[in-house]
Structure 1
Amino acid sequence: MDFALIMFVLLLVSGSISLLDRYSLANSRAAGVAEPWWVEYAKSFFPVILIVFCIRSFLAEPFKIPSGSMIPTLQVGDFILVNKFTYGIRLPIINQKIVQLNNPARGDVMVFHYPENPSIDYIKRVVGLPGDVVEYRDKHLSINGVEQVQVADGDYNYVESGLNFVHTERRDETLGERRHALLVNPSMPNVHLNSVAEFKGHENCTYSESTVRCTVPAGNYFMMGDNRDNSRDSRYWGFVPDNQIVGRAFLVWMNFSDLKRIGSPI
């Protein structure tokens, strides 16, 4: 069950018991009789649950990075904070936007509900905005016919799942006003064609062994992982609609395996 829904149910139960005790049960108890344990617990936990629920729903929510698709920007085991209001205020549970603030910008690292299974949260980088023509050819990204500048930055090696040693090339890329690092493996294809799903808006994309080209539909975004050849992203499952956005990642607040990453901006 979704954690936000669990918190909401606990909030309703504890709040209802607190109100019931204040306006009914307390008046019927004899003087000097202690509150039932379930009333005492509900009244004690209600303000705590309310504060946590409001912070997670409207301000910031923690997430843990489970995979290497965003290396080198994010490492496996990073605990990150996600700004919940930067793209607008949304009602919790149903994720309905009620106040429009900013739109996602090209280069943002964004958390969203995975289109193939909305109960799972994914994190990738915003590459294509609504109306953009995104082309990924020979490890280089072009937006609306303009190739995004990449600068070689040496080799980058990491261990995958604690077993496999992976050798890649590190490059710096600029998307919009955001400069970030990415990894590519020149020996791997730009996309594994047999892994491409039949997603909504598939007709907006064309595929070949060397090129992926997509026109981003209105109200949608094209996402890619920084670990370009170890990321299942919009090349495979399509576009992220606005109503599945969770928020923008902005800070690493903990990594128990590498304490030096604490406080790293994203």
Structure 2
Amino acid sequence: MKKKSIIIEWAKAILFAFLTILIFRILFFEAFTIPSASMEKSLLTGDYILVSKLSYGARLPNTPLALPFVHQHFPFTESSNSYVDWIKIPYTRLFGSTADIKHNDVLVFNYPMDDEHPVDQRIYYIKRCVALPGDTLELRKGLVYINNIYNDVPEKLQFNYKVLLDTDTINSDTLKETGISEGGRMKKNGEYWFTLTCENAEKIKRMPHVTSVQPLFDKKESYCDYLFPENECFLWNIDFFGPIYIPRSGDSVKLTVTDLPLYERIIRKYENNELEVSNDSIFINNKYSTHYTFKMNYFFMMGDNRHNSADSRFWGFLPEDHIVGKAVLVLLSINKSNDQSHIRWNRWFKSVH
């Protein structure tokens, strides 16, 4: 009996610890890893970050019947979902609001184009919030302007540059010392491209044999068919984008067949309406519509690595119900490049800005 009692006590203690950790992850903080270079140099591949759920309110799970600590699929499978979606909780936040989000906050969110899964089970992304609900955003040479006012963080940004040399090789040791990891040769001898911060671009200019360092910007009004909203009426590219209005809850926009591609996904997918177009007339839920009033707030997200980031320029607006929390701290960092791993001690417990 005594042995059975000890087992029961241990089981209770383990269950209590498990539930405590689970509630802590849902309501307070959760750890994530940075899998790509889209936020360099602010966040590096291999960073382990702490995300605050309290900053904008803890979002309750849409799918409460899910295997804890597992996302989307059971371990070692790609087809068996780790959740059931026949019970869903409507979008709800506790102890806060997305109204607390500020320009240039770094957010973790669920990728809105991942339609295969419920919102809380979609892939996690991390980007910088460059535009808030009600803003009008425009990119000029890759830099953010909000309501015609420059509003960016230039010291954190990276762009692709073309580097010309009067010789065919560049000093790789100097590149490593400067922390330059993305780049390579171009077609002609002495031509290279590198992903650089403004500071590193100046360092490259001072290197021996370098004759030119120029950013690789797309031309204004050149059309990229793979960018949002994938419509030839909008001659936008990754460097020159917009102006575009960021929808705010309660605001209305005039609907035309020309502008509809900007808001079609919001109307159909995010706010669950039926949408039809017939003879240049727009029908929402079988009613002829000339305007649409938004139910949710939306945000525009971009990576600091401006030429190497799949962000809102590619997939459009971020709905507020997809936001997980605010990145606040780098817990630890491991560099796994070149098939070797080493710890970046200087990044431990570094705040995220």
The TM-score, its normalising length taken from structure 2, stands at 0.54
Higher strand share: 1
Q: Partner of 1:193 in structure 2?
A: 224
Matches of 1:167 and 1:33, distance apart in 2: 65
Q: Are the counterparts in 1 of residues 228 and 312 from structure 2 also a CA contact under 8 Å?
A: no
Matches of 1:136 and 1:127, distance apart in 2: 11
Q: Partner of 2:103 in structure 1?
A: 106
Higher helix share: 1
Q: Tell me how far 1:99 sits from its aligned partner.
A: 3.6
Write the mapping of 1:35-184 to structure 2, written as runs, cut at 5 A.
42-93=11-62, 94=89, 96-101=92-97, 103-117=100-114, 118=119, 119-148=122-151, 158-160=180-182, 167-171=194-198
Deviations 1:210-252, CA, capped at 9 Å, x for gaps: 6211211110000000001100100110111111110000100
Matches of 1:103 and 1:52, distance apart in 2: 26
1:242/1:150 CA distance change after superposition, 3 Å:
closer
- Secondary structure class of the residue paired with 2:307: helix
Q: Tell me how far 1:91 sits from its aligned partner.
A: 1.9
- Secondary structure class of the residue paired with 2:103: coil
Q: Partner of 2:314 in structure 1?
A: 236
1:50/1:166 CA distance change after superposition, 3 Å:
farther
Q: Tell me how far 1:207 sits from its aligned partner.
A: 3.5
Matches of 1:65 and 1:56, distance apart in 2: 18
Query: How many percent identity over aligned positions?
Result: 34
Could you tell me which runs of 5 or more consecutive residues in structure 2 were left unpaired when the two chains were aligned: 63-88, 162-177, 184-191, 200-213, 249-296, 336-343
Q: Partner of 1:212 in structure 2?
A: 241
Q: Are the counterparts in 2 of residues 157 and 167 from structure 1 also a CA contact under 8 Å?
A: no
Q: Tell me how far 1:170 sits from its aligned partner.
A: 1.6
- Secondary structure class of the residue paired with 1:111: strand
Matches of 1:152 and 1:260, distance apart in 2: 19
Q: Are the counterparts in 2 of residues 159 and 166 from structure 1 also a CA contact under 8 Å?
A: no
Query: Which has the larger displacement, 242-251 or 139-148?
Result: 139-148
1:40/1:66 CA distance change after superposition, 3 Å:
same
Q: Tell me how far 1:127 sits from its aligned partner.
A: 0.4
Q: Are the counterparts in 1 of residues 28 and 58 from structure 2 also a CA contact under 8 Å?
A: no
Q: Tell me how far 1:148 sits from its aligned partner.
A: 3.0
Matches of 1:149 and 1:113, distance apart in 2: 24
Matches of 1:46 and 1:130, distance apart in 2: 42
Q: Partner of 1:221 in structure 2?
A: 299
Matches of 1:71 and 1:192, distance apart in 2: 26
Q: Partner of 1:264 in structure 2?
A: 350
1:254/1:150 CA distance change after superposition, 3 Å:
closer
Matches of 1:77 and 1:166, distance apart in 2: 24
Counterpart of 1:146, as a letter, is I
**Corresponding residue pairs, total:** 220
Q: Partner of 2:166 in structure 1?
A: none
Deviations 1:177-205, CA, capped at 9 Å, x for gaps: xxxxxxxx821438982322559xx89x9
Deviations 1:96-140, CA, capped at 9 Å, x for gaps: 213434521001001011101241010000100001111012222
1:35/1:122 CA distance change after superposition, 3 Å:
same
Matches of 1:41 and 1:255, distance apart in 2: 34
Matches of 1:67 and 1:40, distance apart in 2: 44
Could you tell me which runs of 5 or more consecutive residues in structure 1 were left unpaired when the two chains were aligned: 1-30, 173-184
Matches of 2:330 and 2:218, distance apart in 1: 31
Deviations 1:24-66, CA, capped at 9 Å, x for gaps: xxxxxxx5572696x5664232111111112111111000000
Counterpart of 2:316, as a letter, is G
Alpha-carbon RMSD: 3.6
Matches of 2:316 and 2:96, distance apart in 1: 24
Q: Are the counterparts in 2 of residues 139 and 186 from structure 1 also a CA contact under 8 Å?
A: no
Q: Are the counterparts in 1 of residues 54 and 96 from structure 2 also a CA contact under 8 Å?
A: no
Q: Tell me how far 1:141 sits from its aligned partner.
A: 1.6
Matches of 1:152 and 1:115, distance apart in 2: 29
